[in-house]
Structure formats: structure tokens, C-alpha cells
A = this chain, B = another copy of it.
């Protein structure tokens, strides 16, 4: 069953989901809740726009531009557009990914 995306002004729970979900996609932004069990990875990829990645639960490693960055719950980083990055869950983890659409 398709999950309807949130509308402007609608409160969305950042955590509390068992799977990766697109929370909304608007004119300029897409926000995704990424859920990764410990040891699982997203292989290196890139998107055109800038992104922020906020670790909400657990811990993740983000490898970008040849450097590894560990994010724990409550930490955020941003990446410029077109930067190759991979994500690996060091523990069961969820993250909020905000992408500027280009």
C-alpha cells in the first residue's frame, strides 16, 4: 500500500519506522527517512543537489571524498552536490536525508 507523502504544515515523526520512506517531495526539497540495519550499506552514489544527513538513531559511517565520517544520533553533516558518498550502518540506524532538488 502506498504511503501518502506529507503535506505542508503536517507534523511528521522523524523516527519510528521500520523501513526507508520518502517523507515528502516538494518543489525544491526531498526528505527521506533512511533505515539501515547494522552492517548494511548504501553503495557510493551522488545526487545533483546539496544534501544534509542527520543521524537520528544508532550510528552511521558516511564516506565522501575519500574521507570517513562517523555520525551518531543527533549529529548532522552536509555534502555539496555531485559528491560521491556511501553510507554504512555501524549499529541499527536511521537518518533523515534532506536533498535539494536540481
Contacts and interface: CB of A to CB of B under 8 A. Distances in A.
Given A28-B100, A29-B50, A100-B100, A9 B65 contact: yes
Interface of A is mostly: strand
Interface in A5-20: 6, 8-16
Given A31-B76, A76-B96, 16 more contacts: A6-B77, A8-B78, A9-B67, A9-B78, A10-B69, A10-B77, A11-B71, A12-B75, A13-B74, A27-B50, A28-B81, A29-B98, A29-B100, A52-B98, A54-B96, A56-B74
Interface of A: 6, 8-16, 23-24, 26-29, 31, 49-50, 52, 54, 56, 62, 64-65, 67, 69-71, 74-81, 83, 96, 98, 100
